[in-house]
């Protein structure tokens, strides 16, 4: 039996009033955009002094001076191609080494088996 009665007895909440007293939700879309500032335009950003804007799913330079970037892009593509070729060569070498390891391991197991058989055959003769 609790000393001070029921410790948890929430009060009923009063019914809600109108959600909004504003009549902006009654306006058409264009008026709402003007009133509320919903016209954002294209997204833009500034990276390393270069201004970029987002158009048709791609980031495009606003300044138009893309020559330095194109050279850098070509250099990066060439480096990427070199790294891909090196990666392919290293994968090939790893595959060859794994094949060699498998072959050596199989030969080792065969030799161990033959050695065990020879030992057992030698014990039977004695």
**What confidence tens digit (pLDDT) does each residue in 33-77 have?**
777 766 667 778 887 777 888 888 887 777 665 555 678 888 999
**Token digits for 115?**
């050695």
Instruction: Tell whether 72 and 119 lie within a shared domain.
Output: yes
Residue 75 lies in domain: 64-125
Q: Is residue 72 part of a domain?
A: yes
Instruction: Tell whether 74 and 106 lie within a shared domain.
Output: yes
**60: enclosing H helix or E strand:** strand 58-61
Put simply, whether the predicted model's pTM sits higher than 0.85 gets the answer: no
Give the pLDDT band of residue 25 (cuts 50, 70, 90).
Answer: low
Distance of CA 29 to the CA centre of its chain: 37
Instruction: Tell whether 57 and 72 lie within a shared domain.
Output: no
Instruction: Tell whether 57 and 100 lie within a shared domain.
Output: no
Q: What is the mean pLDDT of the chain?
A: 80
């Amino acid at each position: 039996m609790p000393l001070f009665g029921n410790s948890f007895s929430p009060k009923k909440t009063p019914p809600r009033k109108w959600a909004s007293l504003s009549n902006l939700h009654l306006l058409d879309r264009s008026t709402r955009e003007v009133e509320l500032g919903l016209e954002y335009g294209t997204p833009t950003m500034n990276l390393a002094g270069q201004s970029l804007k987002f158009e048709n799913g791609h980031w495009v330079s606003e300044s138009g001076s893309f020559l330095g970037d194109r050279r850098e892009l070509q250099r990066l593509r060439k480096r990427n191609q070199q790294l891909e070729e090196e990666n392919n060569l290293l994968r090939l070498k790893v595959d060859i080494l794994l094949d060699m390891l498998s072959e050596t391991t199989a030969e080792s197991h065969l030799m161990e088996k033959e050695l065990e058989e020879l030992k057992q055959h030698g014990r039977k003769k004695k």
